[in-house]
Amino acid sequence: MAKDVIIALDMDSADRVVRFLDAFTLAKPFVKIGMELYYAEGPDIVRRIKDRGHRIFLDLKLHDIPNTVRKAMKVLSALDVDMTNVHAAGTRAMMEAALEGLERTGGHTDLIAVTQLTSTDEARMRKELLIDASMEETVLHYALNARDAGLAGVVCSPLESLRIHEACGEGFMTVTPGIRFADSAKGDQVRVMTPARARENASDYIVVGRPITEAEDPVAAYERCVREFLA
DSSP three-state, residue 84: strand
Element (H, E) at 203: none
Annotated catalytic residue within 3, 50, 61, 74:
61
For this structure, is 3 an active site residue? Answer: no
Contacts 24+ apart (CB under 8 A), 182-190: 184/210, 184/211, 188/119, 189/118, 189/119, 190/118, 190/119, 190/120, 190/121
> Comparing C-alpha atoms, which of 224, 219, 222, 178 is closest to residue 201?
178
Q: Which residues contact 41 (CB under 8 A, 6 or more apart)?
A: 13, 14
Chain length of the chain: 231
Query: What distance lies between CA 26 and its chain's CA centroid?
Result: 24
User: What is the amino acid identity at position 149?
Assistant: A
What is the DSSP code (8-state) at residue 193? B
- Catalytically active residues are 61
